[in-house]
Amino acid sequence: MAQADISIKPTELQGGHGHPDKWKWYDYFTFNVDHKVIGIQYLVTSFLFYLVGGFMAVLMRTELATPNSDFLSPELYNAFLTNHGTIMIFLWIVPAAIGGFGNFLIPLMIGARDMAFPKLNAIAFWLNPPAGAVLAASFFLGGGAQSGWTSYPPLSEITANLPQTLWCVALIMVGTSSILGSVNFLVTIWKMRVPSMAWDQMPLFCWAMVATSVLALFATPVLAAAMVLLLFDINFGTSFFKPDAGGNVVVYQHLFWFYSHPAVYLMILPIFGIMSEVIPVHARKPIFGYKAIAYSSLTICLVGLFVWVHHMFTSGTAPWMRIFFTISTLIVAVPTGIKIFSWVATLWGGKIRYTTAMLFAVGLLSMFVFGGLSGVTLGAAPFDIHVHDTYYVVGHFHYVLYGGSVFGIYSGIYHWFPKITGRMLNEPLGKVHFVLTFIGTILTFTPMHNLGMQGMPRRVAMYDPQFAHLNQLVTVGAYILAVSVIPFYFNVIWSWMKGKEAGPNPWNAMTMEWTTDSPPIIENWEVLPVLTHGPYAYGMERSDEVGPAGEPLPASRS
Ligand code: HEM
Ligand SMILES: [Cu+2]
């Protein structure tokens, strides 16, 4: 296959600024088309939004420390609830995991100089900060959207209209961003690998991004459609979701969950990709089951599109449909289990280095097994009907989102920070961060399951006093999580300026991004690299002759 022509120099696209081989700090605040700059822009903004969303969580938990509504007004509680969920999903995990890691790593991992469509890439990023500004504006123009991150009608059509409209606009913007980004990832991975790299010699992170992008392309337009229809109902007198005028509220739920169920895989597949890179490097072993991991990403992507109704078991879903969607939901556990099995088998007998990146990866495994199991319980319609809209659900999805996505993003940051910045993060501080996060996550989200089983409803600012003790425990956990980010943000800022120089390959890793300078020069390489060994050929004699999972490398494909 011919190498796609990417000979346009970023310097030319910048209007002849004439940068030699390094960007200046102010370049990061401009419409820059270098994939590495865009990756860093995504990461830094998403980490800022993470603080905002986290701050809202802390305010909510402070309110919930006591049964009465004595800290926030109920309206304000609803607004924080809605925007916490929205920000955490759409402005934190998705942009960090997909936009940040995807943009920074993909071209480097496949030996390309940039993404296929650099300008489109920059546009995709620059839709995000305005979306955040629109959400912020919704707070000042009418107190913020209040109907939850799902914004089901009729509630969303009878609460304050202006903030709800702004909320829809913000989601359309981030949705558009994610569609543009996905097209770019797919074309880049398809067309721009170094000529010597066959599909099955690609790092698993790239496979994960293929699955993620396909999923985003199928699902996101449906979300955008739901947002447009909702916006029309609220502002222009249509009645798509107004039962008294011939509309149907359940249609909204179908549209919303047709996107938002797959969205959980959008968030977790890139993280799985990060796991598949971090674990072999720090366990010094070839990944176990390369193909099984690659194909299970695609299977998750496919099956994930057929399970959305498990969010609607209580919305009058016909019994036969409940059976179908229970079964399809439980089937997703199989490819996920295959991945977990492969990572554990990779760890087995490895020379494990307990770096912070590795600690977060192993922490993720334990959290994800727990969150995955509670997910399986919820996938079964009878149990789901019992605990629907209780704190059991809140406990489950935070185990997956905090214990899965957040741990994975942290693990990736500790692993690739040296590549991104050229400096090492401080390891002892990283371990403090890990311990606080691990304890905080367990303390915050485990008791929620008990609360839910006992019947505490979600999305309330006030609750029955019998739930007070467990709620205090949860709030203490949330404060620990709030404190846990301090060593991390401090570490990042301090190490970025003063950390130990990293050199090109501090972990002795074998994927291609580690063959260039840290941070990589503009356009990534002086001379494009040639593939000499698979991405995970650790601990093998003559590792230059083995493929991804340790087998001999087939003759180059060109
Ligand atoms: C310090 C960590 C966190 C705490 C203490 C926390 C706390 C909360 C609380 C109290 C709720 C309201 C639950 C309800 O009444 O239904 C909530 C909802 C939610 N949280 Fe978190 N959260 C944290 C982190 C995260 C993260 C990292 C994510 C995602 C990446 C996330 C996503 C959500 C979502 C999607 C909702 C649902 C919002 C809705 O029902 O509209 N949270 N969280
Ligand atoms: Cu789901």
- 459 in ligand 1 pocket by Cβ < 6 Å? yes
* pLDDT at residue 556 greater than cutoff 80: no
Average pLDDT over residues 294-313: 92
- 148 in ligand 1 pocket by Cβ < 6 Å? yes
Average pLDDT over residues 330-342: 93
* pLDDT at residue 177 greater than cutoff 60: yes
Q: In testing the pocket of ligand 1, which one of 398, 444, 463, 473 has its CB within 8 Å of the most ligand atoms? A: 398
Map tokens 């905080």 to a residue.
Answer: 440
- 395 in ligand 1 pocket by Cβ < 6 Å? no
Q: Report which protein residue has its CA nearest ligand 1's atom 20.
A: 85
3-state secondary structure 418-434: HHHHCECCCHHHHHHHH
- 311 in ligand 1 pocket by Cβ < 6 Å? no
Question: What is the CA(58)–ligand 2 centre distance, in A?
Answer: 26
Q: Please check whether residue 239 is in contact with residue 247, taking contact to mean a CB–CB distance below 8 angstroms.
A: yes
Q: Please check whether residue 115 is in contact with residue 182, taking contact to mean a CB–CB distance below 8 angstroms.
A: no
* Per-residue pLDDT at 9: 45
**Of residues 3 and 218, more confidently modeled:** 218
pLDDT digits (tens, 9 = 90+) for 189-205: 999 999 989 999 999 99
Q: Please check whether residue 233 is in contact with residue 165, taking contact to mean a CB–CB distance below 8 angstroms.
A: no
How far is the C-alpha of 526 from the C-alpha of 394, rounded, in Å? 50
How far is the C-alpha of 197 from the C-alpha of 108, rounded, in Å? 13
How far is the C-alpha of 164 from the C-alpha of 91, rounded, in Å? 17
Average pLDDT over residues 45-62: 97
Q: How many CA atoms lie within 13 A of 395 on its CB side?
A: 29
* pLDDT at residue 230 greater than cutoff 60: yes
Residue 141: CB partners within 8 Å, gap ≥ 6?
Answer: 162, 163, 166
- 451 in ligand 1 pocket by Cβ < 6 Å? no
* Per-residue pLDDT at 545: 47
> Which ligand 1 atom lies nearest to the CA of residue 148?
41
Query: What is the pLDDT of the chain when averaged over all its residues?
Result: 91
> Which ligand 1 atom lies nearest to the CA of residue 54?
1
> Which ligand 1 atom lies nearest to the CA of residue 267?
30
* Per-residue pLDDT at 8: 42
- 481 in ligand 1 pocket by Cβ < 6 Å? yes
Average pLDDT over residues 495-500: 96
Q: Which of 82, 222, 87 is nearest to 155 (CA)?
A: 82
- 94 in ligand 1 pocket by Cβ < 6 Å? no
* pLDDT at residue 508 greater than cutoff 50: yes
How far is the C-alpha of 379 from the C-alpha of 355, rounded, in Å? 35
Show the tokens assigned to 304.
């994930």
- 61 in ligand 1 pocket by Cβ < 6 Å? yes
* Per-residue pLDDT at 20: 54
pLDDT digits (tens, 9 = 90+) for 426-480: 999 999 999 999 999 999 999 999 999 999 999 999 999 999 999 999 999 999 9
Show the tokens assigned to 348.
């087995």
* pLDDT at residue 99 greater than cutoff 70: yes
> Which ligand 1 atom lies nearest to the CA of residue 150?
41
By the 10 Å C-beta count (0-12 exposed, 13-18 middle, 19+ buried), 251 is classed as middle
Q: Which phi-psi region, left, alpha or beta, contains residue 142 (left: φ > 0; alpha: ψ -120 to 50)?
A: left
Map tokens 């089951």 to a residue.
Answer: 289
- 151 in ligand 1 pocket by Cβ < 6 Å? no
DSSP codes of every residue in 247-313: --HHHHHHHHHHHHHHHHHHHHHHHHHHHHHHHHHHHTSPPS-HHHHHHHHHHHHHHHTT-GGGGGT
Which residues make beta-bridge pairs with 390? Answer: 457
How many residues in the chain? 558
* pLDDT at residue 551 greater than cutoff 70: no
Q: Report which protein residue has its CA nearest ligand 1's atom 34.
A: 85
pLDDT digits (tens, 9 = 90+) for 253-269: 999 999 999 999 999 99
Map tokens 């009907």 to a residue.
Answer: 385
